[in-house]
C-alpha cells in the first residue's frame, strides 16, 4: 500500500476504484476506522445497470460549456494571435478546458441576458446564415476538436412567428420550420452537423410543438438530431413524458437548469439521459472554480446527470452588463488583446482532458466520509479516470441555487482496484488546490503513482478545496502561451465609419446591441459618403425572452466614461413617426436595458427634438422643434462635461448647458425611437473618465 502526502510536503494522491461489468468491487478505507469499510450508495444500487451508467446509451458522459445571450460578443473583435489563443484554451484537446460540447443560442433578435443575437430570419421571406458570430464560433470549435458535440437552443424568436402575439407556438409548423432551417443552414453553409436541439430556454414548452418538430426533422432527413427538453426545471416535462408515450419517445434528453446537483423521481423513471443543461453562471474567481469542481462531480453523484453544461463559455462582453465575468475565462478587451485564463479553465480540465463522451460512469461513486465526492469513469477498453473533489462550502457556493451548509475536513482515503483494473500498473496524477495564494496550485502534474508493488491499493491525504485526477491516460497537459498584452481601458478616442464592403461579421466591432439588431449595410441609394453604414434592421418587436426596451439601442465604450463628446451621422427612414438618438453615460444594459438612465439626444422625423435622462423617455430635460425630416442625413453631437450637457445638429447648437446630475458615468450609445429602420455613419467619441 502506498501513502501519498499533501503536495506541500511531497507529492500526492489517489482515489477511486470501481465496478465494471460486475467484476470490480471498490471501497475506500478511512484510517480512523477500526476495520475497513466498503462504501456503497444504496440508491445507486437500484439504478445501476451493466455497463454501469444511469442512462441506457453509450453516450454516458460529457461535460460542456455554452455561449449564448451575447456573452461572446467581444471575442470576434480580438486581433490575432490572441483570438486563436483564447479559442485554444477553450476547445483544443489536451490543452486547456478541452470542451466536449458547445451549446449555442439560436439568435432570435431579442435581448437574452447581455445583449441580442441576430436571427437567420428577421422576416418571413428572409434567410441569411452569416449573421452574428455563432456560426464562426462553432466552426472554430470544430476546427480544434472535430468530435465536439454541437447544440442549439432558442431564447427569443423573430416577431413574425408570433403573428401579433408574444408567443412562438401560434403556428407550430411555422416555428418548427424556422428551427429546421437553422439546422439545415448550419450544414449547407458551414458544414456543421447539429447534434441536439432545444425547445425554448426557461420558458413554456408545448407538447404538440415538440412532436411536430420531431416529425419535421425526420421528414427532412434529420433523424440523427436529438431533442432535449425543456431547459427549465425537471417538472412538468418529466411527468408529461410519463403520461404521454409519444412525447417520451421523441425526447432524447431531459435538461434542467441549476438543479443544485439533484434530480426528481419522475425524471429518473423516464430512463432518459439526464443533463444539467445550464449550470454555474458564477464569477470566475476561485469560488467560481470551486462551484464548478463540485457540480461536475456531484451532478452525477447526487443527481445521475451525465452532462453539465455551464453558462457561459467566455466572459467576452462588457463587464458591467449582468453577470459580468461569469465565464470560464475572461476576454473582454479586444482593443488591447488582454485576456485572463481563469481558474475554472483548469478545474474543467480535470474532467474534460481525461474523459470523453461515451465513457461510462462506474457503479461505485459517491461522497467521502468527511466531505467531498469522487467519481470514476472508463472507456470500456481498460482506461480508468478517477476525479476527487473536496470543495468546502465557502469555496464552492454557486450563484444559484441556495447551497445548504456542509463541512469538509482533512481525511485519508484508501482505494482498492480490483478485477481488470487490478492490472493497471500506473496512474497519472493531476492536482488543483484553491484558496490562499500561498497554497494555490492549478492543474499541476505530480509524480505518477505506481501500483504493481502495492496490491492495487493506494491511500491519499485530502485537505479542503482540492481536486485530484488519477488516470491511465497520458495525454493531459497544461497548455500555455506567452502572456497577452497588458490590460488597457477602451480607447478615449474611438471612431468607425463602417466602410466595410464585404464584412466577415454582420456587426460592427465593439458595439453591443441591447435591443434591436444593428448590421453593416450597403446603401445603394447613396453611392457617396454614406454608401456603407450601420443599420438598425428590425421593424417588428421580437418574441421576447427578457424585458426588451421599446426602443432599440446599441452600447459601446468604457462604462467609467464621465466627460464625453459623441458625434454621429444619422438617417431616419420612417416618415413622421421615425426617430433616432445618440447617448452618453448609459448606465444599464442586458436584461435591465428598459430602465437604462443616461443623457439621450433624440431627433424625430416630425421636426422635433428631445433630451431625456432615460431610454424610456420619462425624464425630459428639454424639447423643441428643429429642421429635421426623414430620408435625409444629419450630424448629431452630444457633449457632456461634469454636470452640464449640450447638443448640436449639423454643427449648430440646439440646446446648451442643461444640468444632468445622474448618472455620473456610463457607455456611449446609438439607437432608434421604435423598432424601425434607421442608419448610422461616421461614429466618433472622445471621452475622459
Quick one: three-class SS letters along 653-671? Answer: EEEEEEECCCCCCCEEEEE
CB neighbourhood size of 74 (10 A): 22
pLDDT for 19 equals: 32
Cβ-based neighbours of 202, under 8 Å, separated by 6 or more: 231, 232, 257, 545
Residue among 278, 333, 466, 519 flagged as catalytic? 278
pLDDT of the residue at 68: 65
pLDDT at 573 over 70: yes
Q: What is the pLDDT of residue 525?
A: 83
pLDDT single digits (tens) 116-162: 999 999 999 999 999 999 999 999 999 999 999 999 999 999 999 99
- What tens digit of pLDDT does each residue of 84-98 get? 999 999 999 999 999
b/e for 6-17, b at 16 or more Cβ within 10 A?
Answer: bbeeeebbbbbb
CA distance linking residue 543 with residue 411, whole number of Å: 53
Predicted confidence band of residue 354 (pLDDT cuts 50, 70, 90)? very high
559 — phi, psi (to 5°)? Answer: -60, -20
From residue 87, how far is each of 45, 107, 602 by CA, in Å?
Answer: 41, 21, 40
CA quadruple 12, 18, 20, 25: dihedral positive or negative? positive
Q: Is pLDDT of 464 > 70?
A: yes
Strands 652-659 and 644-649 come out as antiparallel
Residue 45 has pLDDT above 80, yes or no: no
Mean pLDDT of the chain: 91
Distance between CA 407 and CA 461 in Å, rounded? Answer: 17
Our answer to whether residue 22 is catalytic in this structure is no
Q: How far apart are CA 54 and CA 306, in angstroms?
A: 8
pLDDT digits (tens, 9 = 90+) for 171-212: 999 999 999 999 999 999 999 999 999 999 999 999 999 999
Q: Dihedral sign, CA of 267, 269, 274, 280?
A: positive
How far is it, in rounded angstroms, from Cα 454 to Cα 654? 86
- Spell out the residues 6+ positions from residue 634 whose beta carbon is closer than 8 angstroms to its own: 569, 570, 571, 603, 628, 649, 650
- Predicted local distance difference test score (pLDDT) of residue 379: 96
What does the pLDDT read at residue 2? Answer: 40
In contact, 670 and 680? CB cutoff 8 Å: yes
Give helix 172-190 / helix 134-144 axis angle, nearest 10°: 50
Q: What is the pTM of this model?
A: 0.92
Q: Which residues pair with 4 in a beta bridge?
A: 460
Residue 80 among the catalytic residues? no
Asked whether the predicted pLDDT for residue 450 surpasses 60, the reply is: yes
Mean pLDDT on 475-502: 97
Which segment, 24-33, 235-244, 447-456, 496-505, is predicted with the most confidence on average?
A: 235-244
Residue 426 pLDDT class (50, 70, 90 cuts): very high
Q: How many CB atoms lie within 10 A of CB 394?
A: 13
Longest Cα separation, the chain? 92
Name the band, by pLDDT with cuts 50, 70 and 90, for residue 44. very low
Check residue 61 and give its pLDDT: 61
**Cell numbers at residue 637, please?**
453631437
Q: Which of 267, 262, 204, 197 is nearest to 227 (CA)?
A: 197
Task: Please identify which of the residues 127, 202, 369, 686 carries the catalytic annotation.
Answer: 202
Helix (H, G, I), strand (E, B) or coil at 21: coil
User: Can you state the angle between helices 343-352 and 286-301, rounded to 10 degrees?
Assistant: 30
What's residue 688's pLDDT? 83
- Residue 29 scores a pLDDT above 50: no
How many whole angstroms separate alpha carbon 474 and alpha carbon 455?
A: 22
All three cell numbers of 602 = 433624440
Kindly state the percentage of the chain with pLDDT values over 70.
Answer: 90
Contact (Cβ atoms closer than 8 angstroms) between residue 247 and residue 241: yes
Span 514-539, mean pLDDT?
95
The three cell numbers of residue 214 are 420531431
The answer to whether residue 22 scores a pLDDT higher than 80 is no
Half-sphere exposure of 75 (CA within 13 A, CB side): 28
Residues 6+ apart with CB under 8 A from 466: 388, 389, 390, 431, 432, 433, 434
pLDDT in tens, 621-646: 999 999 999 999 999 999 999 999 99
CA-nearest of 321, 319, 332, 324 to 589 is 321
- What is the average pLDDT across 16-45? 28
- 3-state class of 209 per DSSP? helix
Give me the pLDDT at residue 50, please.
22
pLDDT at 30 exceeding the cut of 70: no
Distance of alpha carbon 678 from alpha carbon 554, whole angstroms: 13
Amino acid at each position: 500500500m502506498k501513502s501519498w502526502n499533501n503536495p506541500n510536503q511531497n507529492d500526492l494522491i489517489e482515489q477511486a476504484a470501481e465496478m465494471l461489468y460486475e467484476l470490480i468491487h471498490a471501497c475506500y478505507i478511512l484510517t480512523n476506522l477500526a476495520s475497513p469499510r466498503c462504501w456503497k450508495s444504496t440508491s445507486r444500487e437500484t439504478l445501476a445497470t451493466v455497463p454501469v451508467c444511469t442512462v441506457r446509451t453509450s453516450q454516458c458522459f460529457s461535460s460542456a460549456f455554452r455561449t449564448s445571450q451575447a456573452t461572446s460578443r467581444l471575442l470576434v473583435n480580438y486581433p490575432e494571435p490572441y483570438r486563436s489563443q483564447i479559442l485554444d484554451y477553450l476547445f483544443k484537446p489536451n490543452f486547456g478546458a478541452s470542451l466536449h460540447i458547445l451549446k449555442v443560442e439560436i439568435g432570435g433578435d431579442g435581448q437574452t441576458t447581455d445583449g441580442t443575437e441576430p436571427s437567420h430570419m428577421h422576416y418571413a421571406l428572409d434567410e441569411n446564415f452569416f449573421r452574428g458570430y455563432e456560426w464562426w464560433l462553432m466552426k472554430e470549435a470544430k476546427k480544434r476538436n472535430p468530435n465536439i458535440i454541437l447544440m442549439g437552443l432558442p431564447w427569443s424568436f423573430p416577431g413574425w412567428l408570433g403573428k401579433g402575439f408574444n408567443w412562438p407556438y401560434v403556428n407550430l409548423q411555422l416555428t418548427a420550420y424556422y428551427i429546421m432551417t437553422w439546422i439545415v443552414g448550419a450544414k449547407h453553409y458551414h458544414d456543421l452537423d447539429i447534434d441536439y436541439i432545444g425547445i425554448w430556454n426557461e420558458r413554456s414548452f408545448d407538447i404538440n410543438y415538440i412532436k411536430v418538430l420531431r416529425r419535421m426533422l425526420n421528414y427532412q432527413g434529420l433523424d440523427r438530431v436529438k431533442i432535449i427538453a425543456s431547459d427549465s426545471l425537471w417538472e412538468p416535462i418529466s411527468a408529461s413524458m410519463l403520461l404521454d408515450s409519444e412525447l417520451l419517445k421523441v425526447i432524447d434528453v431531459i435538461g434542467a437548469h441549476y438543479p443544485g446537483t439533484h434530480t426528481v423521481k419522475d425524471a429518473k423513471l423516464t430512463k432518459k439521459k439526464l443533463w444539467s443543461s445550464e449550470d454555474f453562471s458564477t464569477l470566475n474567481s476561485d469560488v467560481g472554480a470551486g462551484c464548478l469542481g463540485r457540480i461536475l462531480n456531484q451532478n452525477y453523484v447526487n443527481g445521475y446527470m451525465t452532462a453539465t453544461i455551464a453558462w457561459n463559455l467566455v466572459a467576452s462582453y462588457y463587464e458591467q452588463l449582468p453577470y459580468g465575468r461569469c465565464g470560464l475565462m475572461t476576454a473582454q478587451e479586444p482593443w488591447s488583446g488582454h485576456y485572463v485564463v481563469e481558474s475554472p479553465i483548469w478545474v474543467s480540465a480535470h474532467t474534460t482532458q481525461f474523459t470523453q463522451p461515451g465513457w461510462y460512469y462506474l457503479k461505485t461513486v459517491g461522497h467521502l466520509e468527511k466531505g467531498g465526492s469522487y467519481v470514476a469513469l472508463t472507456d470500456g477498453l481498460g482506461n480508468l479516470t478517477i476525479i476527487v473533489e473536496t470543495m468546502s462550502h465557502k469555496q464552492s457556493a454557486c450563484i444559484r441555487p441556495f447551497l445548504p451548509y456542509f463541512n469538509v475536513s482533512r481525511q485519508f482515503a484508501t482505494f482498492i482496484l480490483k478485477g481488470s483494473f487490478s492490472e493497471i500498473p500506473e496512474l497519472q496524477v493531476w492536482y488543483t488546490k484553491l484558496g490562499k495564494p500561498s497554497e494555490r496550485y492549478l492543474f499541476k502534474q505530480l509524480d505518477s503513482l505506481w501500483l504493481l508493488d502495492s496490491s492495487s491499493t493506494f491511500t491519499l491525504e485530502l485537505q479542503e478545496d482540492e481536486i485530484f485526477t488519477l488516470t491511465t491516460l497520458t495525454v493531459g497537459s497544461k497548455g500555455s502561451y506567452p502572456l497577452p498584452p497588458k490590460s488597457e481601458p477602451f480607447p478615449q478616442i474611438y471612431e468607425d465609419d463602417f466602410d466595410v464592403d464585404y464584412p466577415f461579421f454582420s456587426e460592427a466591432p465593439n458595439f453591443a446591441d441591447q435591443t434591436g439588431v444593428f448590421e453593416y449595410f450597403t446603401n445603394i441609394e447613396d453611392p457617396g459618403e454614406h454608401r456603407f453604414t450601420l443599420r438598425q434592421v428590425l421593424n417588428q418587436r421580437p418574441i421576447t425572452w427578457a424585458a426588451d426596451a421599446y426602443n432599440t439601442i446599441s452600447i459601446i465604450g468604457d462604462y467609467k466614461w464621465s466627460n464625453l463628446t459623441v458625434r454621429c451621422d444619422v438617417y431616419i427612414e420612417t416618415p413622421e413617426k421615425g426617430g433616432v438618438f445618440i447617448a452618453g453615460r448609459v448606465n444599464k444594459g442586458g436584461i435591465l436595458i428598459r430602465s437604462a438612465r443616461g443623457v439621450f439626444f433624440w431627433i424625430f422625423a416630425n421636426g422635433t427634438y428631445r433630451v431625456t435622462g432615460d431610454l424610456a423617455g420619462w425624464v425630459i430635460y428639454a424639447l423643441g422643434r428643429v429642421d429635421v425630416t426623414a430620408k435625409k442625413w444629419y450630424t448629431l453631437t452630444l457633449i457632456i462635461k461634469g454636470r452640464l450637457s449640450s447638443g448640436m445638429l449639423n454643427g449648430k447648437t440646439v440646446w446648451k448647458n442643461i444640468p444632468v446630475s445622474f448618472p455620473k458615468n456610463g457607455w456611449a450609445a446609438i439607437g432608434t425611437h421604435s423598432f424601425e429602420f434607421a442608419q448610422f455613419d461616421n461614429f466618433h467619441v472622445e471621452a475622459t473618465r
